[in-house]
């Protein structure tokens, strides 16, 4: 594995940092943080973020995955809004990516260019009130009927749903009482019978809207089937693996910024006649932030390199999701504690990062689930 950056990669990474910084003024405007930052979304699409690994002939940038991870990390370093970054990553890895990997030519040509240029916002609707990681418990049904499917059921805690133009919906196409026959369907927002709730109120990631999606005799053409009949489990497993791999890549940049800000503050903020960084308890906390950052970066870029080589990465993706989510939370708390009472005030960068980071242990498979997957893949 070679992680030395080319000149082109360095330039692209620095450009992403500088671009990310230009977003901060927009994101602090009157339309944010309580609403979806659509203006910033479109600017990111114009820069090429939403289509980084998608082939150029389908509207993307055609970047390899190591470069994609570098750009996402750089964007996270420059841009201070974790919610925008999360919505972009969810859109890319759970909607655009599966259409690229499993869509037929007509589906790719129809949906990928607008998903890459930002004119469409994508979502992936899997979770239900009675099923999360247990996808075989999905109750939403897609009954085959002639040249279409009839969807009935509901999904909950769906990222981007309130603003999504396109959803990939996992449903059971089998008969009642039979083993789940999972299928994935591409469903457009204006399809009759589809209803989306208002955004839920959230502890963090407040600019990344989450909602409920309901289907009542919602007719979806058979041409919207993604990957073919019975491919739903393959689609969702592949999608979840990609999510685990890269949905937190931008958090590497946030952690890098937290580390640098903590070092600066601890070196300049004085108590008892010397900088607080001279206190071993403070210094040790910041040292641990650096260790977590370096370990998380190596795990992430190793995984990206393996995927670029066409290797299977089920174990590595679970390791990255587990370690990076834990590291993101712990480093956010460490920065919060370093800044002390100042960080406890509402809407400081430190308190926002803590609130935003907490969800990373839950979405795309909880930390508990990642440990179960890793244990099984180790033969336990």
Distances from the Cα of 325 to the Cα of 85, 131, 360, angstroms? 15, 22, 5
Closest listed residue to residue 208, CA positions, set 217, 219, 199, 221: 199
* Lookup: tokens for 45: 């699409």
Angle 249-268/82-91 helices, nearest 10 degrees?
Answer: 160
* Lookup: tokens for 186: 């591409």
Distances from the Cα of 61 to the Cα of 47, 111, 297, angstroms? 10, 16, 23
Catalytic entry in 73, 80, 128, 243: 243
3-state SS assignment for residue 138: coil
User: Active site includes 243?
Assistant: yes
Closest listed residue to residue 63, CA positions, set 14, 108, 117, 9: 9
Half-sphere exposure of 228 (CA within 13 A, CB side): 3
Distance (Å, whole) CA 169 – CA 139: 12
Q: Which residue has the tokens 């460490």?
A: 334
Task: List all residues 6 or more positions away from 242 whose beta carbon is below 8 Å from its beta carbon.
Answer: 93, 94, 97, 98, 317
Parallel/antiparallel/unpaired status of strands 148-159 and 210-221: antiparallel
- Helix, strand, coil shares of the chain, percent, nearest 5, are 55, 15, 30
Handedness of CA 140, 187, 121, 182 (dihedral sign): positive
3-state SS assignment for residue 156: strand
Distance (Å, whole) CA 162 – CA 169: 15
Distances from the Cα of 296 to the Cα of 46, 78, 331, 371, angstroms? 29, 18, 11, 16
What's 167's DSSP letter?
E
Active site residues: 243
């Amino acid at each position: 594995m070679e992680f030395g950056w080319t000149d082109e990669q360095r330039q692209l990474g620095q450009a992403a940092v500088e671009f990310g910084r230009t977003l901060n003024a927009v994101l602090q405007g009157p339309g944010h943080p309580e609403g979806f930052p659509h203006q910033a979304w479109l600017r990111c699409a114009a820069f090429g973020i939403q289509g980084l690994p998608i082939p150029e002939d389908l509207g993307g940038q055609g970047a390899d995955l190591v470069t994609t991870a570098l750009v996402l990390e750089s964007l996270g370093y420059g841009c201070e809004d974790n919610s925008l970054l999360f919505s972009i990553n969810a859109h890319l890895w759970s909607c655009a990516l599966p259409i690229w990997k499993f869509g037929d030519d007509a589906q790719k040509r129809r949906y990928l260019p607008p998903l890459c240029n930002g004119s469409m916002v994508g979502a992936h609707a899997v979770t239900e009130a009675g099923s999360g990681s247990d996808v075989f418990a999905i109750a939403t049904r897609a009954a085959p009927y002639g040249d279409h499917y009839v969807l009935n059921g509901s999904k909950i805690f769906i990222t981007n749903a309130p603003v999504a133009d396109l959803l990939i919906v996992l449903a059971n196409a089998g008969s009642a009482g039979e083993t789940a026959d999972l299928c994935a369907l591409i469903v457009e927002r204006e399809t009759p019978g589809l209803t989306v709730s208002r955004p839920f109120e959230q502890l963090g990631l407040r600019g990344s809207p989450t909602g409920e999606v309901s289907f009542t005799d919602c007719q979806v053409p058979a041409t919207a089937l993604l990957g073919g009949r019975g491919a739903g489990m393959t689609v969702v497993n592949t999608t979840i693996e990609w999510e685990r791999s890269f949905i937190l890549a931008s958090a590497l940049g946030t952690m890098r910024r937290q580390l640098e800000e903590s070092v600066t503050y601890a070196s300049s903020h004085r108590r008892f006649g010397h900088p607080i960084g001279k206190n071993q308890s403070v210094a040790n906390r910041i040292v641990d932030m650096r260790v977590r950052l370096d370990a998380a970066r190596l795990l992430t870029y190793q995984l990206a390199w393996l995927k670029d080589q066409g290797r299977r990465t089920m174990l590595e993706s679970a390791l990255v999701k587990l370690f990076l989510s834990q590291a993101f939370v712990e480093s956010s708390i460490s920065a919060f504690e370093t800044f002390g009472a100042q960080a406890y005030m509402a809407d400081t960068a430190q308190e926002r990062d803590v609130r935003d980071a907490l969800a990373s242990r839950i979405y795309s498979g909880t930390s508990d689930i990642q440990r179960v997957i890793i244990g099984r893949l180790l033969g336990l």
